[in-house]
Chain A
Amino acid sequence: MLETLLPHRGDALFLRDIVTHDATSLCALASVPRSSAYADDGAVDALLAFEIAAQAAAAHGGLSGAGTAPAAAPGFLVGVKALELVAATFPAERKVPVRVRLLGRAQQLASWSFEFGEPTAVIARGEFSVWTA
């Protein structure tokens, strides 16, 4: 199902399951394969959190039909801010929750906040903007 919502494929697709979603938010589980370019000896760079969150936002767009383009059209991450890296890495292959919340939308540009990790063990949090083609 996720392949119908996102244009990412193979090692670049990090979402595994959609847990919940509503009009302005989505919670999903993500994992990163050991073979990923962002993994080194089983540890994944926590910077990847905002890319994972952007995929969650894109999935939300597909589920809600909010996008103006067909499902799985590429959305481009155009900015990240207030990114806080609480941890340096997280384990490859482990399913980690990601929560995204829509902050605002103006035509094809949407702003989101995100939190990556268990609520009691956050790995990274911040905000990002995505432009949908």
Chain B
Amino acid sequence: MRYECESFATTDSGYEARIRVGAASAFFRGHFESAPVLPGVALLSIAREVLARRVRGLPTLTGVAALRFRKPIGPGERVTLEFTRKGPGQLDLAAHVAETLVADGRLRYAGEVPRA
């Protein structure tokens, strides 16, 4: 299993998911052997997939306006993903481990992100 989605909920402004990427996840293999770190692209890929599987009518992700990876995420850490609608085709993503912001930025979709 690449990751677990432990919860998913709608919020006033978007969606919130809680995920966990275990030490055995393929995302950690070879990245890096001495000190495993979740690749930033893995976090983004998970965020997109979690949303796409749970939000009916979600448009295609067309890009990223900007995304900062602020802190590394290690094996087994639980990550909260907060998605906030920001105008047509834009969705802000903030990822936290406990209270620490580990990544944040703005995603671009081909159309309006549906409300729940």
Contacts and interface: CB of A to CB of B under 8 A. Distances in A.
A42 B33 CA distance: 26
B30 A76 contact: no
B32 A85 contact: no
B41 interface: yes
Question: Size band of the B side of the interface?
Answer: 20 to 34
A7 B41 contact: no
Question: Size band of the A side of the interface?
Answer: 20 to 34
B83 interface: no
A57 to B, nearest CB: 14
Contact of A74 (B2, B35, B67, B68): B35
Contact of A78 (B25, B30, B41, B68): B68
A81 B65 contact: yes
Contacts of A8: 30-32
Contacts of A74: 32, 35, 37
Contacts of A37: 2, 25-27, 29, 42
A40 to B, nearest CB: 10
A45 B105 CA distance: 19
A38 B30 CA distance: 14
B101 interface: no
A36 B29 CA distance: 10
A84 B63 contact: yes
16 contacts: A7-B32, A8-B31, A11-B29, A37-B29, A38-B41, A38-B42, A38-B45, A45-B45, A47-B41, A47-B61, A50-B41, A77-B41, A77-B69, A82-B63, A82-B66, A126-B63
Interface of A: 7-13, 36-38, 45, 47-48, 50-51, 74, 76-85, 88, 126
Interface of B: 2, 25-27, 29-35, 37, 39-42, 44-45, 48, 60-70, 72, 105
Given A12-B39, A77-B39, 18 more contacts: A9-B30, A10-B29, A12-B30, A38-B45, A47-B48, A77-B69, A78-B69, A79-B69, A80-B40, A80-B66, A80-B105, A81-B65, A82-B63, A82-B66, A84-B62, A85-B61, A85-B62, A85-B63
